Amino acid sequence: MHVDLAIVGSGFGGAILAMVARRLGKSVLLLERGSHPRFAIGESTSPLMNLLIEELAHTYDLPRLLPLATYGTWKAHYPELGVGLKRGFTYYGTQPGERLLVAASPGDPCADTHWLRADVDHFLVKEAIALGVVYRDNVDLAQLERTENGWRTRDHGDEADFLIDASGPKGFLHRRQGWKEVGFCGYPNTQSLFSHFVGVKLPSYPWPLPPNNRVPSGCFGWEEGENLLPYPPDAAASHYIFPGGWMWILPFDSGVTSAGFSVEDGLADALGLSEGNAAAWERFLARFPAIQAQFGDAQPIEKWHYSPKLSFRTEHVVGEGFALLPSAVGFIDPLYSTGMPLTLLGIQRLATLLEQGITAEGLASYEATTFAELDWVATFIAANYAAFADFPRFVDTTMFYFAAASFSELARRIGKPELAQGYLLTKNAAFRESFAAWQENKLSLAEAIAPWNVAGLADPGKHNLYGVDLEDVVRGGAKLGKTEAELREVIATAEWARCE
Ligand SMILES: Cc1cc2nc3c(=O)[nH]c(=O)nc-3n(C[C@H](O)[C@H](O)[C@H](O)COP(=O)(O)OP(=O)(O)OC[C@H]3O[C@@H](n4cnc5c(N)ncnc54)[C@H](O)[C@@H]3O)c2cc1C
């Protein structure tokens, strides 16, 4: 068989790219080393990621992707696919009162999700097959060889003109070509241990909140007093922040919780993390009473996944007859759920190349953008690691993520994507310079994010509790090139501004 495109790796990235390529009229072979369903990590989504899903669904006529973009449509259309409700980003520090809640949506129907990847990836592969993608699993790609005009598999004799590597970090081409890991400049080495659990105790807030909207005191030893919470704190990606690292907690509706932590080498050594087993996990819990209280009775239902070096960056993105998805080029850290949106942005760019014709110039531009985005994310996450020991400093650091993410989302929503080029404003030198100036104490936080702050961020009056308030967006209209009146009109009619 001869195809236009071979895609190696059938995670969510490879499967979605395969669907898009079919819609562009390409013949596609999707090659998978393992088989579905299978465990995969990378579960927590974000508003920008879900907007990218919507954009792909609309641009490439993939209506069956669309329900994955919000919690409400997911539950209505695909109740059989494992999912969790993500209303926002919840962070706890180690001291009483240290917490930050940033809502990502005003309600459950339009909320983000956690993806049970075993279900979702399997679903996407079946969707790709239904669109005419030829799928082969349990393949041994040592058999894939380069030919004069493309690629050929020895076992089936399949031939492809172009190959896209969607096989994740340290994946197919990195190994086959013998490329070196180049690392991220100035980024600390981090290690990680994670699994899926049952029996995790989630703090029990009465929700919806009582009529006075006041939260009872006593969660993790801190008192909420008069402050209002923008969403139930556990219906979120929850994070514990501590010196040397952080932990994520992602609850699924089924009662399964995805959890793990990522720590710098010093703490990893102290925890004996290289054992990568239950004993190492127990030593971690023993350090943090609040986490111990939540996980003391929990049981893993998936094997322990240990990574001695979580971040990864290879040498190349493109070459003669091939390109890598961003997720095969590099990975930094789960903090801020950057992996899947970066992958989707890569898919959008590769789709444009497939549509317009693959040229050396187009590939070079894709490579430059992919490296620039990964490097910027690494710079930013390194700054978070540097702040983990100081929760208020960490909170300030997060504001740059939330400013860039909400600005980018809104710019795209109102049809002005040129205002927010590159993931987290990678291509906006002024934003990156402002971040550096803030780090050097040359700008205050409020000054540094002001040009992109359309979400009422860095407001001491909010006591680290950020709800979604479209009035903030209206007030920020000028930053998005709109008057307040124009933005009010957009919001009044836009489907995304309703949450029903
Ligand atoms: C601990 C951790 C937590 C994360 N959390 C998040 C998060 O919350 N949110 C987020 O957005 N991102 C997260 N990420 C990143 C996320 O996992 C990736 O961005 C995402 O999985 C990439 O999807 P993918 O389909 O490109 O690759 P993958 O999901 O890695 O899929 C690759 C596929 O290729 C197959 N394959 C591999 N090698 C070969 C080969 N030689 N031949 C054929 N097939 C092959 C594999 O079997 C697999 O099916 C996290 C990553 C880690 C490590």
What pTM does this model have?
A: 0.95
The Cα–Cα gap between 37 and 43 comes to 15
* Closest ligand 1 atom to 41 CA: 17
Mean pLDDT, residues 55-66 taken together: 98
Query: At how many degrees (to 10) do helices 391-413 and 360-387 cross?
Result: 150
Atom number of ligand 1 nearest to Cα 9 = 34
Nearest CA to ligand 1 atom 27: 168
Query: Does 272 map to a domain?
Result: yes
Ligand 1 pocket test target in 7, 30, 31, 32 with most atoms within 8 Å of CB:
32
Which residue's structure tokens are 């009775």?
297
Please state, in angstroms and rounded to a whole number, the distance separating the CA atoms of residues 320 and 75. Answer: 43
What CATH number should be reported for the domain holding residue 165? 3.50.50.60
CB atoms within 10 A of CB 52: 25
What distance in angstroms lies between residue 85's CA and the mean position of ligand 1's atoms? 21
Nearest-CA residue for atom 14 of ligand 1:
42
Atom 50 in ligand 1: residue holding the nearest Cα: 42
**Is 480 inside a domain boundary?**
yes
Residue 67 lies in a domain: no
Which domain, by its residues, includes 18?
2-43+116-184+311-369
Gap from CA of 282 to ligand 1 centroid (Å): 27
pLDDT in tens, 94-145: 887 788 999 999 889 999 999 999 999 999 999 999 999 999 999 988 878 8
Please indicate, yes or no, whether residues 413 and 285 belong to a single structural domain of this protein.
no
User: Does residue 205 register a pLDDT over 60?
Assistant: no
Residue 209 has pLDDT above 80, yes or no: no
Distance CA(349)–CA(244), nearest Å, equals 36
- Dist. CA 333 → ligand 1 center (Å): 12
Average pLDDT over residues 389-399: 98
Of 90, 167, 337, the one to substitute when testing ligand 1's pocket (max ligand atoms within 8 A of C-beta) is 167
Question: Ligand 1 centre from 41 Cα, in Å?
Answer: 6
The pLDDT tens digits of the residues spanning 220-273 come to 323 355 557 788 888 999 999 999 999 999 999 999 999 999 999 999 999 999
| DSSP assignments along 42-67, one per residue | --B--HHHHHHHHHHHHHTT-TTTGG
At 277, list the tokens.
């087993």
Give the model confidence (pLDDT) of 3-27 as tens digits.
999 999 999 999 999 999 999 999 9
- β-bridge partners, 153: 144
Q: Which of 271, 286, 307 is the last residue of a domain?
A: 307
Distance (Å, whole) CA 31 – CA 444: 50
Count the Cβ atoms, other than its own, within 10 Å of residue 391: 22
Tally of domains within the chain: 3
Strand pairing of 88-92 and 237-242? parallel
Distance of CA 125 to the CA centre of its chain: 20
pLDDT at 203: 62
Tell me phi and psi for residue 419, to 5 degrees.
Answer: -75, -15
Residue 14 lies in a domain: yes
Q: Is residue 15 located within the same domain as residue 159?
A: yes
Question: Which atom of ligand 1 is found nearest the CA of 172?
Answer: 41
Q: State the Cα–Cα distance between residues 437 and 20, nearest whole angstrom.
A: 41
Is 418 in the same domain as 478? yes
Tokens at residue 167, please? 């096989």
Most ligand 1 atoms within 8 A of CB, residue of 35, 41, 164, 252 to mutate: 41
pLDDT digits (tens, 9 = 90+) for 18-52: 999 999 999 999 999 999 999 999 999 999 999 99
- Measured between alpha carbons, how far is residue 151 from residues 13, 91, 228 in Å? 21, 47, 58
Q: Which atom of ligand 1 is nearest to the CA of 337?
A: 9
230 and 88 Cβ atoms separated by less than 8 Å: yes
Residue type, 219: C
Residue 52 counted as domain residue: no
Planar angle of CA 477, 483, 488, nearest 5 degrees: 75
Mean pLDDT of the chain: 93
Give yes or no: residues 399 and 453 share one domain: yes
Distances (CA, A) of 366 to 18, 329, 359, 360, 382: 18, 12, 11, 10, 24
Phi-psi group of 446: left, alpha or beta (phi > 0 → left; psi -120 to 50 → alpha; rest → beta): alpha
Q: Looking at the domain assignment, is residue 61 inside a domain?
A: no
Atom of ligand 1 nearest to the CA of 141: 42
DSSP string, 342-392: HHHHHHHHHHHHHHH---HHHHHHHHHHHHHHHHHHHHHHHHHHHHTTSHH
Could you tell me what percentage of the chain is helix, strand and coil, using 3-state DSSP and rounding each to the nearest 5? 40, 20, 40
Last residue within a domain, chosen from 253, 275, 307: 307
The pLDDT-based confidence of 469 (bands split at 50, 70, 90) is confident
Q: Do 361 and 436 share a structural domain?
A: no
Of 12, 19, 33, 322, which is best to mutate to test ligand 1, by the most ligand atoms within 8 angstroms of its C-beta?
A: 33
Q: Are residues 235 and 292 in the same domain?
A: yes
Residue 237 CA: which ligand 1 atom is closest?
8
Same domain, 345 and 210: no
Phi, psi torsion values for 367, nearest 5 degrees: -65, -45
Smallest CA-to-CA distance from 219 within 208, 236, 200, 232 is with 232
CB 132 within 8 A of CB 125: no
Mutate to test the pocket of ligand 1, among 340, 344, 350 (most ligand atoms within 8 A of CB): 340
- Ligand 1 pocket, CB under 6 A: 8-14, 31-34, 40-44, 141, 166-168, 171-172, 192, 194, 260, 325, 327, 331, 334, 337, 339-340, 343
CA of 296 to the centre of ligand 1 (A): 29
CB count within 10 Å of CB 157 equals 9
Q: Do 411 and 483 fall into the same domain?
A: yes
Whether 346 maps to a domain, the answer reads: yes
Domain membership of residue 70 (yes or no) is no
Q: Are 325 and 297 found together in one domain? A: no
On whether both 99 and 121 belong to a single domain, the answer is no
Q: For residue 412, which of 461, 311, 341 has the smallest C-alpha distance?
A: 341
User: Which position has the token pair 């111990």?
Assistant: 292
Q: Are residues 344 and 401 in the same domain?
A: no
Q: Which of 291, 307, 323 is the C-terminal boundary of a domain? A: 307
8 Å CB contact between 319 and 186: no
At residue 156, the pLDDT reads 82
The answer to whether residues 186 and 37 touch, using CB atoms and an 8 Å cutoff, is no
pLDDT digits (tens, 9 = 90+) for 161-179: 999 999 999 999 999 999 9
Are residues 219 and 294 part of one domain? Answer: yes
CATH number of the domain residue 230 falls in:
3.30.9.100
